[in-house]
Amino acid sequence: MTSHTAKRPCSFQIGTFMTGKWHHNRYELRKELGYGANGIVYLAQSVRGTVAVKFSDNNATIASEVNVLKSFAKAQGDSLGPSLIDVDDYVVNGKIYPFYAMEFIQGDSLLAFLRKRGNEWLNVLSLQLLTQLEKLHQLGWVFGDLKPENLIIQWPEQRIRFIDVGGTTQQGRAIKEYTEYFDRGYWGLGGRRADPSYDLFSLAMIMMTAAYGGRVPKREGGLKELRERVKDKKELAVIEPVLMKAFAGKYASAGEMKRELAAYMQRQSNRRKHSAVQTSRMQMRNAKGKSGRRKGGRIAETLFLILLVTLLYAIYMLGLVV
């Protein structure tokens, strides 16, 4: 949720010990994790271990995000985002700051993970993310502010998780929070009403950002510019139809995009296997050819020696007769 332009809505000194007004749970604030227009998040220590605590001076913001996290908990299978631990108020100098404590997910940010492991992981993680988005959309939500900074690869499972649900919006409503670069409206390719295709556009932008190692400044915007950037990167060019369909808002669901991306990945894998088999066969033929030539050379040498010995023996016998 880090923003270098947003004003901090509330801020507390590192090392502060705080106690919730209603549940009396105690937290020690250890480190600031990030802040935005609607709140600030700290790493904190509690009786339940290390947690992340988000404060805001806006009750509606906290209530909305708590509802999102509760909804996430209803998703079948893996948790979509952090688990909700506590919801309370912190009172200091007569002022009330609503907050909630959530699971602290340890791992690498998406781009940091790809820098370590290589971009061959990009499509695999994108398939994971599409599975998560499909579950989220089925619950009636759109993530909204989908960007690399709001995704983490959890240790040691290497599983992608959402963090910072501040932009998560009920489908059909106006997107609550967004980051321009990953927003289709900024690129002139659609509005800011929450629907699945909004998140899928952002996902395609994340894939492009990861392939380039960062954000490439926009020129005029539109599909033409995005297509040029896709074609300029080999790892993007091989899935160009999938990315362009996402940019154009042509996918009805995350599941549809996931199936098409998986199909392109399978075809790419088959081509690599075929190429490897062809290379192996060629190497075997070359090895056999070399072996045959070596064998033929040895036979010729043997025949020559036999003929030479026979000739010398004949000359020797003729000498005895004479």
Residue corresponding to tokens 């688990």: 83
Nearest-angstrom CA–CA distance, 73 and 197: 23
CA distances from 293 to 209, 287, 289, 298 (A): 53, 10, 6, 9
β partners of residue 41: 34, 54
Any catalytic annotation for residue 199? no
Catalytic hit among 57, 86, 145, 164: 145
How does 172-206 read in b/e, with b if 16+ C-beta sit within 10 Å? Answer: eeebbbbbebbbbeebebbebebbbbbbbbbbbbb
Q: Torsion angle of alpha carbons 253, 256, 257, 263, nearest 10°?
A: 170
Nearest-angstrom CA–CA distance, 232 and 320: 86
- Kindly list the catalytic residues: 145
